[in-house]
Amino acid sequence: MLSNFEKVVRVIYREWKHSGPVIEEHPTEEALTCFLEEKLAQTDWDLIQKHLLKCEICAEYLSTQLKVEPHLSRDVPRALLERIRKLVNDGVKENIFEIFLRLKEKALEIIQTSGDVLVGQELVPAPVLRSRRINEFKEEVSILKDLRQVRVLVKVESKGRKAFGLVVSIKDKQGRNLSSTLRITLIKDNLELESYVSDTEGSVFENIPPGDYRVEVLQEAHLVAAVDLKVKA
């Protein structure tokens, strides 16, 4: 049997559900929880869905709920889920350096990168290069990025359309060489291809065919940095 208190709660909830939550600026935590648990009328669910698709604050709150409940599986719009996944993975991106290049006969073309490109003695962000309409480099290109703990410099050398060379240098944020306890590993399809202890000249990988690679920098089995490298012919 339900207690009087439980009966009162049910009556209040039923009245609230039919009247709908009042959304002036942001939905309440209770409304967002009911949204996740599918306890809202369709019109109220639609209102909160529209709000979440344009509100960073509420989408971030919802992302924290998904962190707490990773097993949660709901019929949530794809656009909203992608937005939430991006918020959840923001911290991971701090340690990842992305480079996407294309090999040509006598030049390297930058398709996309999250680092700064060395042009002469100047480090230029990739969006600025695009505004200058510069994306091709003769034979080699150097790209640098400051990650959470280290500064990573990646130099890619063209060997024609069939292969490229790779030099990876790791320094601290002041540009000083780090100790030789760092290990730099080239990975493809989750398989380790080559691995070297870092030195002052950087780790060199030669005659690599085009493809998707990952370069991991580890210090005593702890991941310090990762470079996602895509090179297409």
CA distance 196 to 108: 25
pLDDT of residue 106: 79
What is the per-residue pLDDT for 48?
A: 84
pLDDT value, residue 68: 47
Under 8 Å between Cβ of 152 and 168: yes
Give residue-wise pLDDT tens across range 148-184: 778 899 999 999 889 999 999 888 877 676 666 788 9
Distance CA 204, CA 220 (A): 20
Q: What is the largest CA-CA distance in the chain?
A: 82
Q: Which residues pair with 140 in a beta bridge?
A: 157
Q: Are 144 and 152 in contact (CB under 8 A)?
A: yes
- Residue-wise pLDDT tens digits, 127-151: 788 777 888 898 899 999 988 778 8
d(CA 226, CA 217): 6
pLDDT score at 214? 93
- How far from chain centre, in Å, is Cα 92? 6
pLDDT at 99: 92
C-alpha to C-alpha distance for 232 and 135, rounded to whole angstroms? 15
pLDDT at 22: 44
Contact by Cβ (8 Å): 103, 164 = yes
* pLDDT confidence of residue 38: 76
Token readout for 169 is 């240098």
Instruction: Tell me the helix, strand and coil percentages in the chain, rounded to 5.
Output: 30, 40, 30
Contact 156, 140 (CB under 8 A): yes
pLDDT, residue 123, reads: 87
Residues facing residue 152 across a β-bridge: 145, 170
Q: Which residues of the chain have pLDDT under 50?
A: 4, 8, 20-24, 68-72, 91-92
pTM (predicted TM-score):
0.58
Strand-strand pairing, 203-208 and 122-125: unpaired
pLDDT at 21: 47
C-alpha 197/C-alpha 159 separation (Å) is: 24
